[in-house]
Amino acid sequence: MLFKKNFFLISFNFLVLLVPNILYFVYINELVSRKLELLMISVIVLLVLFSLLKKAWLFLVITLPIALTVPLEAFYISNYHSFITPHIMGIVFDSNISEISDFTQGNEFKIFSVYLILLTMWISGIISCYHSKLIYNHFSRYLILLIFIPFLIYTATIHDPSFSDIGVYEDTEMEIKRNHLPDGFYRFEKTLPIGIFISVYEFYQETQQLYQLLERTKSFHFNATRETSFAQNKEKSEIYVLVIGESGRYDKWQLNGYAKPTTPHLSQRQDIISYDHFYTRSNSSRESIPVMLSRKKATDKHFGFHEKSIIDAFNTLDFKTYWLSTQMTFGQYDTPISIHAKEANYLKYFNSSNYNSDGVYDEVLIKPFQQLIDNIKKPEKHFIIFHTLGSHFNYAHRYPEEFDIFKPSLKNEAFNLHDITVKEKIRNSYDNSILYTDYILNEFLNILSNKKDAISWFVYLSDHGVDLFEDGTSSGQGRDSENVLHIPLIFWFSEAYQQLHPDITQMILSQKIQKNTTESMFYTLCHLAGIQIVDQNGVKTK
């Protein structure tokens, strides 16, 4: 009887350990076969562990630390539709108590109660199983070990990059690998208990890598001065805003001649200048963004750069600098950007999810921006960078239901980026993401233009575009095609700015039809803010 009771108890504990994967199955909009595979892997790993340990009490002791992660993972999956990733760990480590309570959303008492129940379950289970000497001795134990251990070894060693989070993107010339472990290990990334070890390990490696890169530029500072016409201003506030978009493609904007009404707000504005022939020099964010923000050349494919970005020049000139992001912190695609984000006086990542989930929408940036602008007093100087999710794949995840205008779309459907049979739906979802970007940018512009009297400008540009099966086969950002490299670039200037610096606004307008690339961006931003960089020989460069 006692044996039977304990058998049920251990089965129940077993089930608790599977809760994150069961929730993942329920909440995540992914291919069912994939979710089933993840759930099966979790079951198999636990079965193997139990078979190896034999003694039920020992199994419970070993799985206790894993059980303690279950409520957090469960909470996370049901709220943010993602397993806890190294990015989330980074945010939590960099947060203070009040920011952490943003994550838990006032559910602290519930979380505490769940922990109490869990601990009681595990400890009473350990004691009870120890006394009843529940041991797994059935012959099936040998069968499990014989079949599943080779299966797990096989799974961990086969090469399948699609199992890493962002493996859907093709990328070349990777100098530092995102994956610190063999590819096969990432099959376990979204399974418990192995997933938690992978995440912790990745977090450690990524942090080390980031700090190594930061160390390289630690002593670097721009010798920056200001042009007289800017330096003379002692009364008005200066607010400069740079929005870095994601996967925004020039020809999909109504503003730039697209037939579908994807930018109804921006198209109506008379006060913006949209460039016609502006190109990114790389099809990946991690290469494109450092080139636009620093003096790094596009031909320099090294991971990281020995100089800081334009943020440092603003810092030197007593600007308050901000990096507000809905993107990620760590990984081969993100770390080269995070190095520059760290240069800002104030850094915040708003997305508690990851690229594979719907996560947050870019609108989370609107309220903080409004508050920031409201609190600016004369004659403060601010430089704000928004790094937005824009049209980051999965396009259907980037906008709320009310922006699901172009249909049929892939909203609430699981699909593969490279599946040509859903081409029209992929294109419509992409157009909806531009429609949403139009709304976000217009909100930003309204907030900024309401700050009357401020000397301000606003620049938006995307890091790269995407292919949407125009050539019959390509989808995503992997190719150096016109669709991928031709990006939107938008300027806006406040009235106060235009009055003070008519020469600059005229210059920007006159270059609208010129062909140019992201390599010029660093110098353009310097020019717009009246920043002169002085080299070792005392020569000023604009």
Q: Which stretch binds Zn ion (CB under 5 A): 283-291, 396-404, 496-504, 509-517?
A: 283-291
CB atoms within 10 A of CB 423: 14
Binding footprint of Zn ion, residue count (CB under 5 A): 3
The CA distances from residue 32 to 24, 27, 447, in Å, are 11, 11, 43
Computed on alpha carbons and rounded to an integer, the radius of gyration of the chain in Å comes to: 26
The CA distances from residue 278 to 50, 462, 489, 521, in Å, are 59, 10, 7, 10
Instruction: Tell me how far apart the alpha carbons of residues 386 and 293 are, in angstroms, rounded to a whole number.
Output: 13
CB atoms within 10 A of CB 101: 13
> Nearer Cβ to Zn ion, position 91 or 466?
466
> Nearer Cβ to Zn ion, position 74 or 485?
485
> Nearer Cβ to Zn ion, position 73 or 431?
431
Binding-site member from 191, 285, 309, 429 for Zn ion (CB under 5 A) = 285
Tokens of 183: 């590819």
Q: What is the 3-state secondary structure (H, E, C) of 65-91?
A: HHHHHHHHHHHHHHHHCCCCCHHHHHH
Encoded one letter per residue, x for contact with Zn ion by CB under 5 A and - for no contact, window 241-280 reads -----x----------------------------------
CB of 247 to Zn ion, least distance (A): 5
CB of 395 to Zn ion, least distance (A): 13
> Nearer Cβ to Zn ion, position 99 or 173?
173
Q: Which stretch binds Zn ion (CB under 5 A): 19-27, 196-204, 284-292, 441-449?
A: 284-292
Q: Which stretch binds Zn ion (CB under 5 A): 142-150, 366-374, 457-465, 487-495?
A: 457-465
CB of 65 to Zn ion, least distance (A): 37
> Nearer Cβ to Zn ion, position 343 or 463?
463
Per the rule left: phi > 0, alpha: psi between -120 and 50, beta: everything else, 148 is: alpha
Phi/psi of residue 159, nearest 5 degrees = -85, 115
> Nearer Cβ to Zn ion, position 183 or 287?
287
CB of 333 to Zn ion, least distance (A): 8
With vertex at residue 289, the alpha carbon angle to CA 275 and CA 311, rounded to the nearest 5 degrees, is: 100
CB of 427 to Zn ion, least distance (A): 18
Report DSSP state, residue 304.
S
Instruction: Tell me how far apart the alpha carbons of residues 436 and 268 are, in angstroms, rounded to a whole number.
Output: 15
Encoded one letter per residue, x for contact with Zn ion by CB under 5 A and - for no contact, window 194-233 reads ----------------------------------------
Q: Which stretch binds Zn ion (CB under 5 A): 39-47, 374-382, 398-406, 455-463?
A: 455-463
Nearest to 276 by CA among 505, 488, 509, 518: 488
CB 286 within 8 A of CB 276: no
Decide: is 518 part of the binding site for Zn ion (CB under 5 A): no
> Nearer Cβ to Zn ion, position 128 or 285?
285
CB of 388 to Zn ion, least distance (A): 10
Q: Which stretch binds Zn ion (CB under 5 A): 350-358, 460-468, 484-492, 514-522?
A: 460-468
Decide: is 343 part of the binding site for Zn ion (CB under 5 A): no
With vertex at residue 246, the alpha carbon angle to CA 241 and CA 249, rounded to the nearest 5 degrees, is: 105
> Nearer Cβ to Zn ion, position 69 or 474?
474
CB of 166 to Zn ion, least distance (A): 10
CB of 63 to Zn ion, least distance (A): 39
Instruction: Tell me how far apart the alpha carbons of residues 512 and 510 are, in angstroms, rounded to a whole number.
Output: 6
Decide: is 463 part of the binding site for Zn ion (CB under 5 A): yes
Kindly report each contact of residues 102-110 with a partner whose C-beta sits within 8 Å and lies 24 or more positions away, as own/partner: 103/352, 104/75, 105/79, 107/75
CB of 481 to Zn ion, least distance (A): 15
CB 323 within 8 A of CB 347: yes
Respond yes or no on whether the N-terminal peptide bond of residue 408 is cis (omega within 30° of 0): yes
CB of 288 to Zn ion, least distance (A): 7
> Nearer Cβ to Zn ion, position 280 or 524?
280
- Map the footprint of Zn ion across residues 227-246, applying CB under 5 A: 246
CB of 283 to Zn ion, least distance (A): 8
CB of 328 to Zn ion, least distance (A): 11
The CA distances from residue 348 to 291, 329, 386, in Å, are 22, 10, 10
- Residue tagged 């952490």 (tokens): 100
Phi/psi of residue 320, nearest 5 degrees = -90, 125
> Nearer Cβ to Zn ion, position 165 or 246?
246
> Nearer Cβ to Zn ion, position 308 or 464?
464
DSSP line for 328-342: -SSSTTTHHHHHHHT
Residue 11 C-beta-side C-alpha neighbours within 13 Å? 6
> Nearer Cβ to Zn ion, position 132 or 354?
354
* Nearest residue to the partner Zn ion, using Cβ: 285
CB of 327 to Zn ion, least distance (A): 9
> Nearer Cβ to Zn ion, position 338 or 456?
338
Q: Which stretch binds Zn ion (CB under 5 A): 272-280, 463-471, 519-527, 529-537?
A: 463-471
Q: Which residues bind Zn ion (CB under 5 A)?
A: 246, 285, 463
